[in-house]
Amino acid sequence: MLKGKIVKALSGFYYVQDGNSVYPCKGRGNFRKRKITPLVGDNVSFEMDENEEGYILDIDERQNELVRPPIANIDQAMIVASVVEPEFRTILMDRFLVLIESKNITPMIVLTKTDLVDDEELEKLESYKEDYEKLGYTVIVGSSKEEDGLLGITPYLEGKTTVIAGQSGVGKSSMLNALKPHLDLETNDISKSLGRGKHTTRHVELIEMYGGLIADTPGFSSLEFQDLEYDELPDCFPEMREHGEYCKFRGCLHNKEPKCAVKAAVEEGEIPSYRYEHYLQFLEEIQNRKPRY
């Protein structure tokens, strides 16, 4: 029996890497009976038969998994956001951060297309960068079109499995091409009439890059909080984890409760007001969510 990691899933085949070799494999029929689907990122046991056809026999326990995109055992998520085209929106960034935090994946933020903005916009961007860095997030700012513009990312890739997240059109594939030019991933210019990009990545694949594995995926097709309960939301905001310890009531939702340390921190300017506003919006969204049957 051989051991390896699934690095690509395409047309019913799972491509398993063992050392320097990659083997196309199929899943055993009992996976279907047990309602288990092998995912890119899975560590698996497999075998090759006399016809050099591979079969996955077993899947190791996962440290985490995402449904959209379908991938497992992720160490960190790189949230890519453009400064313009489409413009940077903190509410979208915070939505991505919450979804990633809820899966116990470490987020980092990459802001692209800085070559397309003036000094005033860059100053505003620097302010947001400082806000997110104070929360403990790593923030990289640069442009795929400038030489060495995004090389600040590379030290964070070593020894990690990284998934890329971000709305369509922000330059995820362009960034990967800039980091590893011979990849030549398909990119589409943004459609100005729609203000958003076309999906250009159609399957999930782990690519070796700078001593780690990076996932070029179709992106997060759903940004809804379907799997998150309202009382879990505060734990997805680092500033609320920190200040929430000092609230008077255990289980404080930092909304209408008295003597709330989080609300006090917002009033004192220790927590950016837009972060708190987004938290309240997300809380209301989850509390008003229709139950799934």
Instruction: Show binding-site residues for GTP.
Output: 112-115, 166-174
Residue owning tokens 């050099």: 52
> Hey, which bits of 60-120 come out as E strands?
65-66, 71-72, 76-82, 106-112
Annotated binding site for Zn(2+): which residue ranges?
Answer: 247, 252, 254, 260
Among candidate residues 220, 177, 193, the one with its CA nearest the CA of residue 85: 193
Q: 150 and 110 in contact (C-beta within 8 Å)?
A: yes
Among candidate residues 162, 147, 155, the one with its CA nearest the CA of residue 41: 162
Among candidate residues 81, 85, 62, 58, the one with its CA nearest the CA of residue 72: 62
Name the DSSP class of 191. Answer: B
Half-sphere exposure of 119 (CA within 13 A, CB side): 0
Name the DSSP class of 139. Answer: E
Q: 25 and 42 in contact (C-beta within 8 Å)?
A: no
Annotated binding site: which residue ranges?
Answer: 112-115, 166-174, 247, 252, 254, 260
Q: 4 and 44 in contact (C-beta within 8 Å)?
A: yes
